[in-house]
Amino acid sequence: MLKPVIIKKLEEIVGGNWVLTAKEDLATYSYDGTTTWSHSPDVVVLPSTTEQISEILKLANEYRIPVTPRGSGTNISGGSVPVCGGIVLCTTRMNRVLDINKTNLTAMVEPGVVLQDFNNLLAKENLFYPPDPQSFLSCTIGGTVAENSGGPLCIKYGVTKQYVLGLEVVLPDGYVMNLGGATVKNRTGYDLVHLFTGSEGTLGIITKITLRLIPRPAARRTVMAMFDDMTRAGSVVSRILAEGIVPAKIEFVDNFVIRRIEEKMQIGLPVDAKTMLLIETDGSIAAVDSEAAQIMDLLNKGGAKIARLAKDEAEANTYWKARSAGFAAIYGAARTVIAEDVTVPRDRLSDFIEKLDEISKSSGFEIVLIGHAGDGNIHPSVFTNSREKEDLDRLQDTLTAIFEAALELGGTLSGEHGIGLEKKRLLAKALDPMAISFMRKIKEVFDPNNIMNPDKIWERS
């Protein structure tokens, strides 16, 4: 419980309407997209300026109050759950696009801008910002920078960090620091812009972001393919890449997800197919037509049961809407769904899928698959019941087996969702102990009082 004097000071900084202490408000900010974690903050603060954030952090630092930054709370690693109580600092009111520069191909935004709103604005200028986490309808750009989020377009366009040129950040002592700028190249000292990108709110609050943009591709084509065999689908993906074709997206979902999507959306997907691949090419009209034709050829030769080139944008949009609904389709299929995130080298994808099948059989948990096949990033979703203690104990072993399998194949603990609370117990399995030691030291340098998003990324020492 924070003292009334602290609440009063926060109200003086942001205005009484933007300090929330009612039980039901605190409950709203006690969880995020993760299903297993929740903890109530003592207070929620919604500032509207960098100066207000600086004052809040000065206060928190002086009284050693934990601060959990929060955008839309869609992350699935427990990153915005205020496990130590204290202040939730939510940036959704800071939602202005400050500049779109068509000549420099850059934009400057506040952290609370919703990703889809940003891309809608850019489309009017024929511009494009590629990083596309599938929560784009609600996630904030600040959240995507703090998580270094990716999405289906990563295979061709890379992840968020490839687009972050400059940042304004408020440090835990209230100092406002500017990093990077609006130049595409910048080789001036250590790269602190990219230290903050992906830092999961543990180093400071991101208050302005300068982003690199690209011209909107002139054309896109979507191919939908169904397979009776997941390994065969994986081989075709490898074949496409080996031919030198780099599509904008290669996504896959398994039979369970196909059935759930069809149940929810009735778009005519064959519910007996084992795997659906969705592939998009983009670029000039001539290039996309030729790439789509090559992909159709490889799919047919590679044993696809159905390979279909979407006849128009409406048909393509239907498939992509179905893919975006993939997570929504599986949530609700069990009392608790743990949507995991691991990446393996692309050429080990089929081995990993086989391993997941073995883990599912031996553990007795149903594990369904959605993934970015083009970059080896899979989201195995484990169905369980958080009310059954026995299930939860077994679940931890099953998740560990999944991560160990990925690591053995040369993969990583997280492709895009971050470590947060979910994976900190496994960090030591994935990183050199010296690397963890340096990371802890970096945290101490920026945040000696450990007020910024404490208890995330590392186990308490």
Ligand X SMILES: Cc1cc2nc3c(=O)[nH]c(=O)nc-3n(C[C@H](O)[C@H](O)[C@H](O)COP(=O)(O)OP(=O)(O)OC[C@H]3O[C@@H](n4cnc5c(N)ncnc54)[C@H](O)[C@@H]3O)c2cc1C
329 binds ligand X (CB under 6 A): no
201 binds ligand X (CB under 6 A): yes
Q: How many residues does the chain have?
A: 461
* Stretch binding ligand X (CB under 6 A), from 199-207, 245-253, 265-273, 280-288: 199-207
* CA atoms of 69 and 142, how far apart (whole Å): 10
86 binds ligand X (CB under 6 A): no
Residue 159 or 304: the one with the smaller Cβ distance to ligand X is 159
419 binds ligand X (CB under 6 A): no
Q: Give every CB contact of residue 1 below 8 A, 6+ residues apart in sequence.
A: 42
* CA atoms of 318 and 297, how far apart (whole Å): 23
Residue 298 or 383: the one with the smaller Cβ distance to ligand X is 383
Exposed, middle or buried by CB within 10 Å (0-12, 13-18, 19+), for 413?
Answer: buried
210 binds ligand X (CB under 6 A): no
Closest to 131 in 3D by CA, of 372, 347, 329 = 372
* CA atoms of 232 and 252, how far apart (whole Å): 12
Residue 118 or 327: the one with the smaller Cβ distance to ligand X is 327
* CA atoms of 161 and 28, how far apart (whole Å): 30
Specify the residue for token string 């983009």.
Answer: 282
CB 361 within 8 A of CB 349: no
198 binds ligand X (CB under 6 A): no
455 binds ligand X (CB under 6 A): no
The correct pick among 76, 276, 288, 337 for binding ligand X (CB under 6 A) is 76
422 binds ligand X (CB under 6 A): no
Residue 291 or 455: the one with the smaller Cβ distance to ligand X is 455
For residue 216, the 8-state DSSP code is: P
For residue 316, the 8-state DSSP code is: H
Closest CB to ligand X: residue number: 143
Residue 85 or 142: the one with the smaller Cβ distance to ligand X is 142
CB 105 within 8 A of CB 214: yes
The correct pick among 48, 52, 80, 381 for binding ligand X (CB under 6 A) is 80
Query: Restricting to residues 32-61, which ones interact with ligand X according to CB under 6 A?
Result: 32-33
Query: Restricting to residues 299-328, which ones interact with ligand X according to CB under 6 A?
Result: 327
The correct pick among 50, 54, 95, 134 for binding ligand X (CB under 6 A) is 134
376 binds ligand X (CB under 6 A): no
Interface with ligand X: number of residues (CB under 6 A): 36
Residue 292 or 367: the one with the smaller Cβ distance to ligand X is 367
* CA atoms of 146 and 200, how far apart (whole Å): 5
First to last CA, the chain: 25
Rounded to a whole number of angstroms, the minimum distance from the CB of residue 427 to ligand X is 15
The correct pick among 168, 282, 416, 447 for binding ligand X (CB under 6 A) is 416
HEC readout, 49-106? CHHHHHHHHHHHHHHCCCEEEECCCCCCCCCCCCCCCCEEEECCCCCCEEEEECCCCE
Q: Quick check: helix, strand or coil at residue 297?
A: helix
Residue 50 or 275: the one with the smaller Cβ distance to ligand X is 50
The correct pick among 140, 197, 281, 412 for binding ligand X (CB under 6 A) is 140
| Site string (216-255) toward ligand X, x via CB under 6 A | ----------------------------------------
Residue 135 or 275: the one with the smaller Cβ distance to ligand X is 135
* CA atoms of 423 and 430, how far apart (whole Å): 10
* Stretch binding ligand X (CB under 6 A), from 72-80, 220-228, 240-248, 302-310: 72-80
Closest to 349 in 3D by CA, of 411, 403, 274, 402 = 411
Residue 146 or 426: the one with the smaller Cβ distance to ligand X is 146
Residues engaged in binding ligand X (CB under 6 A): 32-33, 68-76, 79-80, 91, 111, 133-135, 139-140, 142-144, 146-147, 149-151, 200-201, 205-206, 327, 416-417, 453
